[in-house]
Amino acid sequence: MSHLSSRRLAVLAGGPLALLLAACGGGATIDDDVSGGEAPQLVTVDAGYVSAVDQLGLPIGLETGAFEEQGLDVRLAQPFPTGVDSLNALQAGEVDFIQVGTPAIGAAQRGLDLVLLGNYSGSASQRAIDDTMAVVARPGSGINGEDLATLRGKRIAVSIGSINHLYLIGLLQQLQIPVDEVEVVNTAPPDMPVALQTSGIDAAIVWDPWPITIAQQVQGAEEVVRGGGYIPYVGYIVAMREFVEQNPDVVTRFLTARAAADQWMRENPDEAAEAATRWLPGTAPEVASEAMQYNVAQLDPRFSACNYAALDTVAQMLADQGVTEPGFEVADRFVPGPITTVVAERPELFDDLPAIPEPARIGADYAYDREAALAACPAT
């Protein structure tokens, strides 16, 4: 697997750092200083992300130097098509950190000992947020954004088990339409434009930048739904439990850098959109700019009781549809200590975010109670 690291990025940009070679995957390593200078050694870690606007925090961390400021040489794998692909790489030891949402539930139930360390997208101040999701309908589909009951009987593309599948479930529940009254078509996001163009599907549900890209690529296609608070958006920074236990300092530094990258994007959405065109192949500037408007609203890396309740709700929704097994214990997967430490030690990285409701604030020893969490967190 090929990687791009913060040191390689600096070299490509003409920076003074020497290009160092290190083994791929398998845990954090220390780079040897081969330059003969006094430059501090960096800890090398491998990380992966999915090709989506809401996952740009990793490459942004490279561009802004946030990881190097924390003494990390982060090497990025080539973007993964889906969260399932990133989980496969994590299991194979090819990466130390990934960013993934709903597929983590099924992976954990199949025995992958992963843990959740922070949000790459979501909210710690409310339960439901889904601004980066949209429904795009083909021309002549009969789907009317003013009357979403017209979704009945339609062929709707999602990626089974992913966040867009969850969005469909939440949307249909709100409309009181049974899921079996639509035809769910399992489709990878890159295949959705052609499927719409050829009338293989009537609508595609997907995350940014795909809805905007599809509407541009498929003549007559239109976005009929955007966001709406139908689901809790769950997107986590994930690692293997053993790695976290063996590398606590690396984990804290990694989360600090990611929080800095998220804040930079919130404060500089235009520059972040420009970066998206470099890291997401084929993304036009106008597409990136529009998508970034929705993305920055969900850049909240903190954990609270709201995040536990959100994942619990998501797990129950997927289990009800037979996508995952019932009885998923969310508390077994959250490791809140590192991110709560970062929040306490670097409050300036979070002071532009909405305040977490007092009853929803947590520490490293938080014990999840669903009813208390639901009461503590507003829906939207």
pLDDT category of residue 281 using cuts at 50, 70 and 90: confident
Same-domain pairing of 164 and 259: no
Average pLDDT over residues 11-19: 33
Q: Give me the percent of the chain exceeding a pLDDT of 90.
A: 82
- Of residues 88 and 379, which shows the higher confidence score? 88
Residue 32, domain CATH: 3.40.190.10
* End residue of a domain, out of 181, 211, 226: 226
Instruction: Classify residue 67 as exposed, middle or buried by CB count within 10 Å of its CB (0-12, 13-18, 19+).
Output: buried
Same domain, 106 and 140: no
Could you tell me the residue range of the domain that residue 178 belongs to? Answer: 133-226
Lowest-confidence segment of 29-38, 56-65, 219-228 by average pLDDT? 29-38
Q: What pLDDT is attached to residue 310?
A: 94
Note whether 161 and 218 are same-domain residues: yes
pLDDT at 308 (0 to 100)? 97
Do both 246 and 355 map to the same domain?
yes
Do 203 and 252 reside in the same domain of the chain? no
Listed residues 226, 248, 273: the one ending a domain: 226
Q: Is the pLDDT of residue 252 over 80?
A: yes
Retrieve residue 254's tokens.
């990694």
Place of tokens 């995957």: 25
**105 and 12 within one domain:** yes
Out of 22-26, 81-85, 238-242, 274-278, which region has the weakest mean confidence (pLDDT)?
22-26
Tens of pLDDT, residues 299-354: 999 999 999 999 999 999 999 989 899 999 999 999 999 999 999 999 999 999 99
Q: Quickly state the pLDDT bin for 161 (edges 50, 70, 90).
A: confident
Check residue 144 and give its pLDDT.
Answer: 96
Asked whether residue 8 carries a pLDDT value surpassing 50, the answer given is no
Are residues 92 and 187 both part of a single domain?
Answer: no
Residues in contact with 12: Cβ distance below 8 Å, sequence separation at least 6, in sequence order: none
Answer whether residue 93 shows pLDDT above 80: yes
pLDDT confidence of residue 360: 98
Q: Is it the case that residue 257 has pLDDT exceeding 50?
A: yes
178 and 268 housed in the same domain: no
Confidence of residue 278 (pLDDT cuts 50, 70, 90): very high
pTM for the model: 0.85
pLDDT at 30 over 60: no
Burial (CB count within 10 angstroms: exposed 0-12, middle 13-18, buried 19+), residue 7: buried
| 249 and 119 within one domain | yes
Can you give the three-state secondary structure of the chain, one letter per residue?
CCEEEHHHHHHHCCCCCCCCCCCCCCCCEECCCCCCCCCCCCEEEEEECECCHHHCHHHHHHHCCHHHHCCEEEEEECCECCHHHHHHHHHCCCCCEEEECCHHHHHHHCCCCEEEEEEEECCCCCCCECCCEEEEECCCCCCECCEHHHHCCCEEEECCCCHHHHHHHHHHHHHCCCHHHCEEEECCHHHHHHHHHCCCCCEEEEECCHHHHHHHHCCCCEEEEECCCCCECCEEEEEEHHHHHHCHHHHHHHHHHHHHHHHHHHHCHHHHHHHHHHHCCCCCHHHHHHHHHHHHHHCCCCCCHHHHHHHHHHHHHHHHCCCCCCCCCHHHCECCHHHHHHHHHCHHHCCCCCCCCHHHCCCCCCCCCHHHHHHHCCCC
Q: Mean pLDDT for the chain?
A: 90
What pLDDT was estimated at residue 19? 26
Model confidence pLDDT, tens digit, residues 100-137: 999 999 999 999 999 999 999 999 999 888 999 999 99
Query: Which whole number is the average pLDDT over 149-154?
Result: 97
pLDDT digits (tens, 9 = 90+) for 199-221: 999 999 999 999 999 999 999 99
Q: Tell me the per-residue pLDDT of 45-78, one tens digit each, with 9 for 90 and over.
A: 999 999 889 999 999 999 999 999 999 999 999 9
At residue 139, the pLDDT reads 96
Confidence of residue 162 (pLDDT cuts 50, 70, 90): confident
Residue 284 buriedness (CB in 10 A; 0-12 / 13-18 / 19+): middle
Q: Are strands 133-137 and 222-226 parallel, antiparallel or unpaired?
A: antiparallel
Look at residues 26, 34, 31, 40 and name the one whose alpha carbon lies nearest to residue 5: 31
Name the residue with tokens 């890396």.
301
Q: Tell me, yes or no, whether 39 and 120 share the same domain.
A: yes
One domain for residues 112 and 250: yes
- Give the chain's domain count: 2
Mean pLDDT confidence for 285-296:
94
Report the pLDDT value the prediction gives residue 101, as an integer from 0 to 100.
Answer: 92
Tell me how far apart the alpha carbons of residues 169 and 51 are, in angstroms, rounded to a whole number: 23
173, 201, 226 — which closes off a domain? Answer: 226
Closest CA to 21 of 29, 13, 239, 91: 29
Report the pLDDT value the prediction gives residue 6, as an integer from 0 to 100. 53
Q: Are residues 63 and 22 in the same domain?
A: yes
Residue found under tokens 């997907």? 206
